Each structure stands twice: as C-alpha cells, then as structure tokens.
Amino acid sequence: MGRHGTIANRKASQDSKRAQIFTKYARAITVAAKSGGDPEYNITLKHAIDKARGINMPNDNITRAIKKGTGELAGETYESGSFEGYGAGGVAVIVDVLTDNRNRTTAAMKHAFDKYGGNLGVPGCVSYMFERKGIILIEKTDAVDEDTLMEASLENGAEDMLTHDDSYEIQTSTESFNAVFEALKADGYEFVEADIEYVPSMEATPGGDDIKNLKKMIDILEENDDVQKVYTNSSAPFDEL
C-alpha cells in the first residue's frame, strides 16, 4: 500500500508533526474561506474544516483561519499551485502547494528534487500518468462490516472499493465525491482521510538507493510549510522505511 501507507504509520507521522500539520490545514481553510465563510454553503471549506477537526485542530485555530480568509482578520495572501517532476528512479511526483511567495517555493522545490537525484519538470510533464479521484479512507476495525460499507458506497455513487491490510479505500469520481462522503458520514463512518487526490494510472517500482532517496526527498518536501500534499506513482511503502 505504497500510496497511503499504513494507518499506524500515518497516525505516528501526524502526531510527530502536529504543529506543522495545523499550519498546513489552517492555510487550506483560509484559502477555501475566500469563497465564503459559511461551510454549509462552501463545500471546499466544509471539507477543509472536517479534515482539520479529524486531527483535533483547536476550534480557535479553525475560526481564526476562516476569518483570515474572509478578511475579518489580517493575514497572508496564499495562491494554490502544483509542481511536477521526476524523483530518483524515474518516479513521477506531483507536489500541491499553497504559498505566499511563489519564488521562494519554486527554489525550495528545485533544491529538494536536485539534492536527491530528481528533476523538477514543467507543468504537465507527469500529470498525464495520474487521474483525479475522490478517495475516502476508512480504518479496518471489527465495527466496520466490509460488505455493508461496499454496498453503501456503491449505492451512493462510488466507483470502487479497495481492501488493504488495515483500511478500506473508497474511490469516486470528482463529481460524486461529495455525495458519497456525506452519505457515509451520515451512516456514522469515521474517515482517516477524505479528499480529491491524484491517483496513478501507471506505477513505478524503484529499488535500493532510489527508494531511500525518494523517501528523503518526500520528507523534505512534506516538511515545507508551503506543501500541502505530495503524490507519487511509486509502489514503494515510503512510510515503512
């Protein structure tokens, strides 16, 4: 399960980087709130808040981030963007960012790629290897019946459900993501993650030193406050190295 890693390792990583993750989620909330501060009428904001609450981000932080987005509080102006390139071993990499200084972020991306045997490319150089899909990740526990979950997911518009060692991964189109999300949430399911993601349509299988360099590069990228998420088409489980 290279793309998502294990639930245990995901939680451990979140615990060790909680303050940094709060910063990233606050930025996402601020940007989403520019389109309206009421989550009932702003689906993007609603999902950003749900994700923040999922990692126990304090309500004061959430409220402050919303007010920065609506202009009630002074704050930085962020723009969204993405960078594409190849990591060690020719693995395709996409990096989603929210930044208040594009030049600074570009320099940081180039440094990370170059340092660990990669190559920062031009827009579109690797995105053709990915599809945009809604991904809902639910932890596999005794309280979750696989057949019931699959039936509920498919009935509400999901395309597929994959079963991993410790989780269920529901895949949707971008258009049906919200309907599936809301239906499963209403049924009482708790999500490890729920978002629109880049899902590789073809995978690369790096080995040896390439895996180590990819892991180091991804760690450096994820430590950058401007970076929201890093996607690769590698089948290697980086979080288990």
Whether the pLDDT of residue 238 is over 70: the answer is: no
Whether the pLDDT of residue 237 is over 90: the answer is: no
Q: Average of pLDDT values for 78-87?
A: 96
- CA–CA distance from 29 to each of 22, 49, 57, 163, 164 (Å)? 10, 7, 12, 31, 30
Q: Which residues pair with 138 in a beta bridge?
A: 168
Q: Average of pLDDT values for 11-19?
A: 65
Whether the pLDDT of residue 240 is over 60: the answer is: no
What is the pLDDT confidence band of residue 174, given thresholds at 50, 70 and 90? very high
**Secondary structure E strands in the chain:** 79-86, 92-99, 119-120, 130-139, 160-163, 167-172, 193-200, 227-232
- Residue 184's pLDDT is 97
Domains, the chain: 7-70 (1.10.10.200)
Mean pLDDT over each residue of the chain, to the nearest integer:
91
- Residue 82's pLDDT is 97
Say if CB 161 and CB 168 are below 8 A apart: yes
Q: Average of pLDDT values for 15-37?
A: 87
- Residue 135's pLDDT is 96
Phi, psi of 156 (to 5 degrees): -100, 10
- Residue 236's pLDDT is 77
- Residue 4's pLDDT is 61
- Residue 1's pLDDT is 33
- Residue 200's pLDDT is 95
**pLDDT tens digit sequence for 181-236:** 999 999 999 998 899 999 999 999 998 899 999 999 999 999 999 999 999 999 87
Say if CB 2 and CB 239 are below 8 A apart: no
